[in-house]
Structure 1
Amino acid sequence: MEGEQSADLIRGQLRRIRTVAGLNQEELGRRANYSASTVSAVETGTRPLDMPYVKRIDKVLDTGGLFESLLRMAEGEGLPSWFLPWLEAERTAKQLRYFNPTLIPGLLQTANYARTVLRFDDTRPEGEVEKQVTARLERQEILMRERPPQVIAVIDEAALRRVDAIMGEQLAHLVKMAELPHVHIHLIPADAGLHVGLSGPLALARSAEGGWVGHMDNQLGGSVVDGEEGVATLLATWESVRGVALPRALSVSLVKEVESQHGPQ
């Protein structure tokens, strides 16, 4: 059932983006070298989604590989259907905002860090862990695009001071990411005291049209927030946590200081 729901979401996004591009099924088919009946069959679910089709549609609609990524994750990475709308928002965003009081945000994680986090669920099969590590690293490819999104990450200092053998490597990677002009990392120092962000992590994506989509993690998984009231609440929370964080340069200096305390890698 989970796979069927994921496929339905992909088909829905295929229809939506085709419509936004101003193309009917016949015109899209002509450009992609498929018949209009094939396009219709894919969008209605009477023809299965396959990789050659979505790769061609990605190229025609200039989506930056969105549908290929969605299908790969729906097919094998074991991601829940609710995550796919956020994945689309993340891949097409002009600006991304992440806050996490306990962990490094996924878009900035190393493979070893991601692997450790995914193993928090000790019942997850090793093969599934590795697939999800690969999926997480594939998401990070948006940072290296010719026109990447601006990424602003606010992280609590406590997340950097976890005592673990993988942290030296992770912090070195965080410093490297902070050197990218479009990646802004801000730390909330340990002496900031209690703040609203301690209630939990959040993420926000702003589209090219200026609309916002939010995402929240919790113990049961996560949820996508796209309603006006919910998004407004997340934006207000973001402003609060951003307000108690250090400036960019001071934050990077603090990351380097903590990295040096983890010893040689």
Structure 2
Amino acid sequence: MRVPQSPSPVIANWELVLRLRERREQLGIGVNDITQRLGFTRNYWSAIENEHKIIPENTLRGLFELLEFGEDDRRQLLELRESAKETGWWSGYSALFDGNIQRLFGLEHGAQQIHAYDTLLVPGLLQTPDYTREIMNSDTSIRPVEVEQRVTARRRRQDRLRGADPLHLTSIISEAALRQQVGGPLVLRGQLDHLLSTFDEFEKNVEIRVIPFTATSCNLFGAGTLSLLDFASPRLPRAAWHETVSTWGVISEPNKVRDITMAFNEALTRTLDRGETRKIIEKHRKELR
């Protein structure tokens, strides 16, 4: 099993909560049973199960007997709690990003593999700073003084593509994104140069596939920004991220994640292969003047 470069507290807390909930449901133990046994309110337990609060160690130990955990499980759960207490790099950007986006950063940091799609833009994990900066500058909801901080945060996210155990990324890009002159020809040229260099620099862990204008249909057309995230732990299910102009958040409902997965897989069948993808990026790069 591959392990991320460094633990993600978001993923550690997620796995901890999942294991507690699954065990509780397996034994048929209700929330009232837990709150009465350990002496706290339903709201307090709800905050723990919804990952808004890290479970205190004494509370966790109090659950071990009630939920009939064996020694190995107890040790693993305590280790998860210790990892959940750590501070991720994204915590330093809490003034800029809401809880949903910070959760995405934490999931990305600990993911083993991501499948990404964006309707009209190059996905964030493959953007150059200049390209990101122009996107941020065009967003009227972002204050100018925040732009550089957001650019830096996006660069921090991209660090997971490097290192001894890099993130594996499959990115579907529409041909429209290769033509849309975000920031003008010079910025777009730099972005296309970066995509071309990615084929060599990240040959083993990044796959870029373009949906050409000749594709007659695709379930993802108009979908906004999508990511599917997979994790090393077999206990963690695939998660999805969906973002539009007005809404964004992590999707964990199995049926919704399944539907998004089916749409992504269908879109892959509409893409050019690796060699043809590189050729079409080179073609649009040469056409820029």
The TM-score with structure 2 as length reference comes to 0.68
1:25-44 pair list within 5 angstroms: 43=54
Residues in 2 aligned to 1:101 and 1:95: alpha-carbon distance in whole angstroms: 20
- In structure 2, what residue type is equivalent to 1:237? A
Paired residue for 2:228? 204
CA shift at 1:239, angstroms? 0.7
Residues 168 and 259 in structure 1, CA contact (< 8 A), matched pair in contact too: yes
Q: Which amino acid aligns with 1:68?
A: G
- Equivalent position of 1:113 in the other structure: 131
User: Which residues in structure 2 correspond to 1:96-245 (within 5 Å)?
Assistant: 96-163=114-181, 164-165=184-185, 166-179=187-200, 180=202, 181-200=204-223, 201-210=225-234, 211-245=237-271
- Deviation at residue 44 of structure 1 after TM alignment: 6.7
Q: Secondary structure at the match of 1:104?
A: coil
1:124 deviates by 2.1
Looking at structure 1, the residues matched to 209 and 10 of structure 2 have their Cα atoms a distance apart, in angstroms, of: 36
Q: Deviations over 1:64-109 (max 9, x none)?
A: xx833131122x4x11111122222211111110012200000000
* Matched residues, number: 217
Distance 1:123 1:72 in 2: 20
Cα distance in structure 2, aligned partners of 1:11 and 1:185: 29
| Structure 1 residues without counterparts, runs of 5 or longer | 1-9, 21-41, 46-56
User: In 2, are the aligned partners of 1:11 and 1:44 still within 8 Å (CA)?
Assistant: no
Cα distance in 1 between the residues matched to 2:205 and 2:173: 17
Q: 1:260 to 1:12 in 2, by over 3 A?
A: closer
> After the TM superposition, which segments of 4 or more aligned residues of structure 1 sit over 4 Å from their partners?
10-20, 42-45
Distance 1:123 1:18, change over 3 A: closer
Task: Measure how far apart 1:113 and its partner are.
Answer: 0.6
Identical aligned residues as a percent: 21
C-alpha change, 1:257 and 1:228, in structure 2 (3 Å) is same
Q: Measured at CA, do residues 237 and 138 of structure 1 come closer, stay the same or move farther in structure 2, by a change above 3 Å?
A: same
Return the offset for 1:209: 2.6
Q: Residue 98 of structure 2 is aligned with which of 80, 84, 93?
A: 80
Q: How big is the alpha-carbon RMSD for the aligned residues of Structure 1 and Structure 2?
A: 2.8
CA apart distance, 1:193? 2.3
| Rg (Cα) greater in structure | 2
Deviations for 1:188-245, whole angstroms, at most 9, x for unmatched residues?
0111123211131311110113521100111114121111111101101101111100
